[in-house]
Amino acid sequence: MPVLIAALMLGMTFLAPAHAQHEHLHPTAVQTVADVTFTLRTDIADGKLVFMGDAGKIAGKTNPTLNVPVGAVVQINLVNGDGATHDLSVAEFGVKSNQLNDKGASTAIVFRATKKGTFDYICTLPGHVQAGMIGKIVVGEGAADTSPKAADLSRDPHDLPPPIGKRAPQHLKVSLETTEVTGQLTDGATYKYWTFNGKVPGPFIRVRVGDTVDVDLSNAKDSHMIHSVDFHAVTGPGGGAAVTQAAPGSTKGFTFKALNPGLYVYHCATPMVAQHISNGMYGLILVEPEGGLPKVDREFYVMQGELYTAQRHGSTGENEFSLEKLLNEQPEHLMFNGNHNALTKTHRMEAKVGETVRIYFGVGGPNFTSSFHVIGEIFDRVYNLGDLVSPPLRNVQTTTVAPGGATVVEFKVDVPGRYVLVDHALSRMEKGLAGFLYVTGDPNPAVFRTASTPDAPSGH
């Protein structure tokens, strides 16, 4: 829904009148990701026209009651399921969708639930409310149940070792444990992840060119699968995977020399490899060049992944792996750092005006190429394809990263605000792929100002 995404980015209510845009989604409080999302499908039931819940707890319910917290940004998707003309409106919040005329067509409304109470959502076509197309939105009471709960396995983007700098080559040891753990996918939904060291992605490993590295891979006793590790930074059979196929309860290992500086992906390489990767078994290893990398103020570790579940996106409860969707390359979920909330709710990425930011970014995949972009920023430097030796690209808006690939981006933050990390294949935001970088500090009207901001002093 490109129009919906654009509306979200611009801080506008989807197809709402101008006065509603200012009253209900003030630009300073804009969110690019809704707090609560529902999907309704038009249908005919018991001789009536109805809205039918299409996913999650409301699936199969006629004109379901939609419970939301006060202040939440709410997105309601509408799919035409019967081929008649319909729309969707919540008059109290000033939102009304376009009309859907054909079966399978879809639209959405987005608004902020600014006041407590019970409100109607309806189809405004003449006679359709009387025919049954009316439901309730309850704001502030009976908010959606976020159970079941499970461990949060998402990787904190701050969780990476300090820079190596100018030290001489050393002999190092890396220990990895593979585990199969049920974790939180999003509010109200869980998934059984396969992990390196209990998090998704696995640990950020930092060495320098010339280091000799001993790798130990231990597979937890309660695992059901054989697991292994393939380092793209390794010169040797399978990147190490040929000698680390570890059965549950066993340990395998190897030693390698870091010959090539760069940022590299590692992942499990046990058949079927795509399933192991999708389930969370990927990470990054940085091989710093001699002398290290230029100093920056902030470093973050971010990886993009996909999950292929039998349950549709938005379903609550336990989500289970779907081989059919994996083979058809149809993920239900895309995320940064392991789950939907990792970089929007759970872990807060922050920087101050004037600071330099470096993001080590990789794509676990296993299938989708990322068009990595930070909305409202331009990458001052991009170490394309993870190459740390060639001169970096300059002044880049969006950079392409293949599955099993990586890049390093750097930029200075000049203006306070919230900046959104996305894959610029923007439909993927609707499946959970977004992150926030919060920049604090004084306004910088010489670089950016709204129409109400006084002009910058002359000479600036």
Is 158 domain-assigned?
Answer: no
pLDDT band, very low/low/confident/very high, at 35 (cuts 50, 70, 90): confident
Same domain, 303 and 432: yes
Token output for 158: 């701050």
Token output for 384: 């394309």
pLDDT at 23 > cutoff 50 = no
267 labeled binding residue: yes
Give the residue-averaged pLDDT of 143-160.
80
Same domain, 305 and 424: yes
Q: How many helices (H) and strands (E) would you count in the chain?
A: 4, 29
Type of residue numbered 248: P
335 labeled binding residue: no
Least confident of 49-63, 159-173, 254-268, 291-305: 49-63
Is 165 domain-assigned?
Answer: no
pLDDT band, very low/low/confident/very high, at 25 (cuts 50, 70, 90): very low
pLDDT at 358 > cutoff 90 = yes
More confident residue, 312 or 338: 338
Same domain, 389 and 435: yes
Would you say 15 and 95 are in contact if contact means Cβ atoms under 8 Å apart?
yes
Domain membership of residue 254 as a residue range:
171-288
Give the residue-averaged pLDDT of 364-376.
98
Same domain, 92 and 134: yes
pLDDT band, very low/low/confident/very high, at 10 (cuts 50, 70, 90): very low
pLDDT reported for residue 24: 37
Is 154 domain-assigned?
Answer: no
Least confident of 62-66, 86-90, 452-456: 452-456
- Quote the CA–CA distance of 326 and 329 in Å, as a whole number: 5
- Quote the CA–CA distance of 226 and 372 in Å, as a whole number: 33
The closest alpha carbon to 86, from 112, 137, 121, belongs to 121
pLDDT reported for residue 6: 38
Among residues 97, 118, 139, the one where a domain terminates is 139
pLDDT band, very low/low/confident/very high, at 31 (cuts 50, 70, 90): low
Is 426 domain-assigned?
Answer: yes
pLDDT at 378 > cutoff 80 = yes
Least confident of 3-7, 42-46, 204-208, 393-397: 3-7
Using DSSP, state whether 393 is helix, strand or coil: strand
Is 146 domain-assigned?
Answer: no
- Contacts for 328 with CB less than 8 Å, ≥ 6 apart: none
424 labeled binding residue: yes
- Quote the CA–CA distance of 99 and 1 in Å, as a whole number: 14
- Please state whether the peptide bond connecting residue 148 to the residue before it is cis, i.e. omega within 30 degrees of 0: yes
Give the residue-averaged pLDDT of 42-61.
89
- Contacts for 452 with CB less than 8 Å, ≥ 6 apart: none
Split into its structural domains, the chain has a count of 3
340 labeled binding residue: no
Is 453 domain-assigned?
Answer: no
- CATH number of the domain enclosing 128: 2.60.40.420
pLDDT reported for residue 458: 42
Give residue 93's Cα distance to chain centre.
28
pLDDT reported for residue 454: 56
- Quote the CA–CA distance of 43 and 23 in Å, as a whole number: 33
Same domain, 275 and 308: no
Q: Interior CA angle at 383 toward 371 and 298, to 5°?
A: 90
The predicted-structure confidence for 71-96, as pLDDT tens digits, reads as follows: 999 999 999 999 999 999 999 999 99
Same domain, 134 and 175: no
Give the residue-averaged pLDDT of 151-173.
96
276 labeled binding residue: yes
pLDDT reported for residue 455: 54
The predicted-structure confidence for 115-126, as pLDDT tens digits, reads as follows: 999 999 999 999
Is residue 19 classed exposed, middle or buried when 0-12, 13-18 and 19+ CB atoms within 10 A define those classes? exposed
- Quote the CA–CA distance of 229 and 391 in Å, as a whole number: 31
Same domain, 118 and 29: yes
pLDDT band, very low/low/confident/very high, at 188 (cuts 50, 70, 90): confident
* Bridge partners for 420 per DSSP: 375, 436
pLDDT at 147 > cutoff 60 = no
pLDDT at 371 > cutoff 50 = yes
Give residue 130's Cα distance to chain centre.
41
268 labeled binding residue: yes
Same domain, 341 and 419: yes
CA distances from 186 to 54, 118, 164, 327, 344 (A): 18, 26, 35, 24, 11
Same domain, 128 and 237: no
* Bridge partners for 87 per DSSP: none
- Quote the CA–CA distance of 250 and 228 in Å, as a whole number: 11
Among residues 124, 139, 154, the one where a domain terminates is 139
- Quote the CA–CA distance of 134 and 40 in Å, as a whole number: 12
The predicted-structure confidence for 244-303, as pLDDT tens digits, reads as follows: 999 999 999 999 999 999 999 999 999 999 999 999 999 999 999 999 999 999 999 999
Is 156 domain-assigned?
Answer: no
pLDDT band, very low/low/confident/very high, at 27 (cuts 50, 70, 90): very low
* Bridge partners for 421 per DSSP: 374, 435
Q: 262-267 and 212-219 as β-strands: parallel, antiparallel, unpaired?
A: unpaired
Is 457 domain-assigned?
Answer: no
Same domain, 363 and 429: yes
* Bridge partners for 54 per DSSP: none
Same domain, 75 and 32: yes
281 labeled binding residue: yes
Same domain, 112 and 200: no
